[in-house]
Amino acid sequence: MKRNLLLKSALALAIASPLMASAESQLTTGGGSAVARLDLQVVIPGVIYLGVGSGTDQIATGGNVDNITFDYSNNADQVGITNIPAADISNSMATAGSTLPVRVFSNIGQVVITAGNAANLVSGTDTIPFTEMSVVSDNPNLAAPGFSGGTSQPLLAGRVTNQTANWTYSYRNSTAPAAGVYTGTVTYTASLL
């Protein structure tokens, strides 16, 4: 009896399975038309992306922290003379100069970019104030925030921000610091407003 019931249940399930998994369909006889629908979905996650330097054209995570060097080794007599540029300006992207590409992308609302850094660039116990550094953007829709807490709001279209720019960094050279290699890091943070 149990075996017979088990066999009938398995047969009923086997017959019903194709009906449970079948796509929508319609059979029309004698002419006319048949209709079947299909639902489509596209899933777009909400993201915030900020890239400064190499690799900003592709949205990715990680990468290297780029470096810009203002080197006065070849014009040391110009150290401390306001607005005299270094003889050699290089960056770690293997291109000359102090300009880096920047991209910000968000599809979930207005973004604000904030710059954070220590008060000084440091070489041992010697310092150069971060106020000696500046940055400008070639795109007013993606302005570069000033150092030490400066902010920028990239242009928003609807709920999407997708801006690129080139930010150019400079060193004012208005102080005469002691010899050394001075380093400092600025951290840019993109967040929802």
Boundaries of every domain in the chain = 48-192
Length of the chain: 193
What local confidence, expressed as pLDDT, does residue 23 receive? 84
In this predicted structure, what is the pLDDT of residue 94? 77
pLDDT score recorded for residue 45 = 95
* Cβ density class 105-114: b for 16+ within 10 Å, e for less: bbeeeebebe
Identity of the residue numbered 120 = N
pLDDT tens digits, 12-50: 656 655 556 678 999 999 888 999 999 999 999 999 999
At the second CATH level, the architecture of 48-192 is Sandwich (2.60)
Instruction: With a cut of 70, list the residues of the chain below it in pLDDT.
Output: 1-21, 60
What are the CA-CA distances from residue 136 to residues 45, 84, 155, 167, 178 (Å)? 32, 17, 16, 6, 27
